[in-house]
Structure 1
Amino acid sequence: MSNVVKVLAGVAIALAPGAAAHAVPADPFGPFGYRQIQLEMPEHQALATGMVETYSTGLGQDRCDHFPWRGMPGAAGGITVSSEHGVVLISARPGQLTAEGIGKGSTRAAVEAAYDVHEAANGRMEAAVPGNPNAV
């Protein structure tokens, strides 16, 4: 797996100062994906799950396609797919949490308490994914 995939693969979360902590969800992101969507899954397989829209919202970073979650037009979240590496990024649905109870709006303190975080070269905070050494 290339370094690009190692940097991009994982659950995307946004940090918001002062956001409240969340309870651990019954259906969290796992170390290799979320429900049927798995990291490195080819685009056609990801689209066949029915979890994401079948249209791309355009090329994102590194010339990847982004597919939003089904039924959530205009909402943040979805998957980013590379033609070379398959699914390289799974972004949380609004309200979606990791097994550690972290999601969009979690405080920086909560993220740092749940994960061993570091600042990436692009200035974003990253954390190793428990159980998947190839993802951040």
Structure 2
Amino acid sequence: MSARSAAIIGSIVLGLTFGSAGASGASVAGDERVLGPRGYKSLHLGQPEPAARATGLLVDKQAGEECHYYYLRPSEGQTNVGSGVFVDPGRGVMMIGGTVKSHTPKGVTLGSRFGEVRAAYPDMRRLPPLTWVYTAAVPGNEDARYRFAFDEAGRVADFALEAAEMGACG
């Protein structure tokens, strides 16, 4: 199973397990917990694995055959069970999962409502064949996209900033 498949399965599990994760967060000037447009804090898409580890944000490396997977350190906030940071050893960081403490520059976070996400990212499109996973362009980074997974109540159960080309992690 690919790392991406594991992330989607994690989204499904969380969506079926929890109804809603909380209210939408608003962007605050100077807030370091913004996920996007290039990364999260000192962790960036495309960053080589040694540099990503040196940020101190990654813990619990899971080495797959083609893609490495990490969790964000617990102080960054709880993530969806299938979310985390995916690293292609040859291309660097490919995906950074959101947490209960992080949000997009437009304030979308775990628990945001579908309508709020659609208003913030009007280009949001469903990711077939799944009916509850959507992608949207990342303003300020044409090489990235957001991925939003919604639960049965229409709230964000998982979100991530990911490279448009996921390499071995796709």
Normalised by the shorter chain, which TM-score bucket?
0.7 to 0.9
Query: What TM-score comes out, normalization by structure 1 length?
Result: 0.74
Match of 2:73 among 57, 70, 73: 70
> How much does 1:63 deviate?
3.5
46 and 21 in structure 1: CA distance in 2 versus 1, 3 angstrom threshold: same
1:128 aligned to which of 128, 137, 142: 137
SS at match of 1:135: strand
The 10-residue stretch of structure 1 (77-86 or 38-47) with the greater mean CA deviation from structure 2 = 77-86
Structure 1 counterpart of 2:67, one-letter code: C
Cα shift at 1:135: 0.7
Matched, 1:108 2:117: no
Which has the higher relative contact order, 1 or 2, with Cα contacts under 8 A spaced 6 or more apart? Answer: 1
Segments of 5+ residues of structure 2 without an aligned counterpart are 1-10, 146-170
Matched to 2:57, the amino acid is: M
Any idea what SS the aligned residue of 1:67 has?
strand
What is the CA–CA distance in structure 2 between the aligned matches of 1:48 and 1:20, rounded to whole Å? 32
The TM-score with structure 2 as length reference comes to 0.61
Aligned to 2:124: 117
Shift, 1:37, TM fit:
0.5
Give the superposed CA RMSD: 2.8
Q: Which structure shows the higher strand fraction?
A: 2
Once the two structures are TM-superposed, the CA of residue 57 in structure 1 deviates from its matched residue by 3.1
Question: Is the 8 Å Cα contact of residues 63 and 82 (structure 1) preserved in structure 2?
Answer: yes
**Alignment of 1:32 onto 2:38:** yes
Q: Is the 8 A contact 2:87 2:93 kept in 1?
A: yes
